[in-house]
Structure 1
Amino acid sequence: MATPTSTATSCHFHSDLALDLGRFINNPHLHDVVVLCNDTSFFAHKDVLRARCAVLHDLFRSNDDAVLEIDTDPTVVAHLLKFVYTARFPEVDSIAHVTELLRLARHLQLHDLVVNLGLRFHDQVIAPSSDEDDEGDERCERSSPERRRRPAAEGPAVFHRPRHHSLTKFLDASRFDGKVTVVVGPYRFRRQCAILLASRSTWFADRIDAPDAVVDASAFPIEQMARVLRFLRMEGPEDTFANVDAALEAHRWATVLGAHSLLSWIEHVIVTRFISANTVCTIWSTVECSEYLAERCQAFIQDHFIECASSPGFLTLRADQVKGTLNAGMINADAGDMLLALRRWADSNATRQSDSDRILLDLLPPNTIFNHHLRMQLLGVTADRHPIMQC
């Protein structure tokens, strides 16, 4: 059964999906948000922008306006949208455009784009200097997510261009100019391109300190490091995982490495191949579960509540996860069956019967999505406030 659609917040798309999305860039006949840049309009899609950018995800969550203003050169916005839709790094031929694109990428927290631009244009890109820190802090405060969240009536959100830049070098990239060796126990991966590893993994960017550096990665399993290096060299990821446990293990190590593109591909595999009534609770309970995976798991449980509640993993869900599922939207399940499932969860998380009753009551607050009659039925109370059942 197909999994339900949900808004995404992970940083990157699977490469095949990105190629398909590239067909929808700036389509005037199919869009739900307009990006205004001076006198130029760009047509985009909120779901795509939210999926690729956590800052815009938060912005659109609190602002339903269909217009987004960006105070910059239209060419820069075109480069930005191309990267957002295709996950391909733009070919920029103007240093002014590079500098402005880098500013927007930092502002929108597109970390892969920030690192890639910094490495490619390390001797030309400029960044804020220490004598402008105070002004930069003020700009950051004004442009923080809390400042950007405004009611739709106040007009579209605006990202302003800073008044000026300094001449400080962005990055000393001499250490990324060569080939490095990655050591995993007795194994050596030789002649790995430093700039590719550093631009696609924050872990490698922090540890490559010379053009011929030897990076000790002995803490990683050899099969996990081999997969990561193959992906970071842009040779493509491994197409299959044996089971959901293998996918979650790869997801955990990709998180440690800060390989955001690989994380997105693994999440794509988990969502499209492994989410089921037997696995969804286990996936959601993992420490490394991203907001994107959490939203997809929650939506799946809402659509298949009884089947998911019958799995052993349901009892491992936290109280905030169960409560969030009950309050996030309509659940397709019989009220009596839901009560039995919630009672089992409460009993497994309580040390004594009185705690179980309190936990169950806490799951169903007055502002729950259920109407009054159904809420009373779930709580086991009649209109006369007498208990009608104990499970």
Structure 2
Amino acid sequence: MFLDISQLGVHYAGRSKPAVDGVSFSLQAGEIGVLIGPSGCGKTTLLRAVAGLERANAGSITLARDVVSSATLHVPAESRRIGMVFQDYALFPHLDAAHNVAFGLTHLTHAQREQRVSEVLELVGLGNVHKRFPHELSGGQQQRVALARALAPQPRLLLLDEPFSNLDVDLRERLAHEVRGILKAAGATALFVTHDQLEAFAIGDRIGVMHQGQLHQWDEAYALYHRPATRFVADFIGHGVFAQAHIEQRGDGVVVHTALGDLTDMLECPLPGAYVDGLCDVLLRADDIVHDDSAPVKAQILRKAFRGSEFLYTLKLQTGETVMAHVPSHHNHALGEWIGIRAAVDHVVTFPREPNAAPAAASV
């Protein structure tokens, strides 16, 4: 592994709980990892610990087989050969793009610096902005200059702390795809922090979901969405709700009884004995619910959000439970209307039932 983090703990003085608590994950050379989670979950603290800006109180950080952090060892940030891209880009306003990029290349000759600056500006698609100052560049161009500056010294690892947070929403996902292409072309290994799931999905090979200092799952985007390891990951990623269910052994198979009917794709789910009396909660994503007027189950439209090609409906079942559904936007039903729905669940995901807990809608 190129970057290996093992049982890492970071504890700030005066706080009762660690900011980072027993976190372990790894990155192969050339991989892009992303940390996501709600504000205050510890993702930026973890990034700063990797950079050498925070000390580890427990566990270790290994970079290219060199231990750079542990409870007894702390390699200074300037000795780790790590590049960083910050939220505010931190470009020098009095320097043009070329001199911003050249800032960390003082160890090279003048000719070598000019060549390297031209290489990385071409790499980020800005080969014609050498003499332009930051205020003459768009937000996306400034971001790419900052990326070029971080890549110029050829760091062993690149860290990016919410680099798109100051950009328009429409630009973020597009730039995330562009930055992924740039990092892959450079052969860079990178660790990225964001709170935006679409950014994470667009840029990451591996994504980690953090909550209250702990890493709940480190996986590919598909697995986070369809095979969440914990209830928090299931709730945090995508749109969905938890509905009450009952798992029953039926012959050689297992059936999950829900208010929307029986679910039978149980290959990856716990057996009934995993839950008291087989009672559990099942995760129902918005794309698990199909609008079907001929379906026997009816639901009332509580809310609707227009998304262009589709609506996101929030629906109330006759049992009182709510579900969410993506419905093509030409199905423009009125609030309060009852429509037919059915479940089409390819990945049945269950969790222990939370007593007296109302079904909780997940958010993006």
The structure that is strand-richer by fraction is 2
The structure that is helix-richer by fraction is 1
Q: TM-score normalised to the size of structure 1?
A: 0.31
Q: TM-score normalised to the size of structure 2?
A: 0.32
Q: Which has the higher relative contact order, 1 or 2, with Cα contacts under 8 A spaced 6 or more apart?
A: 2
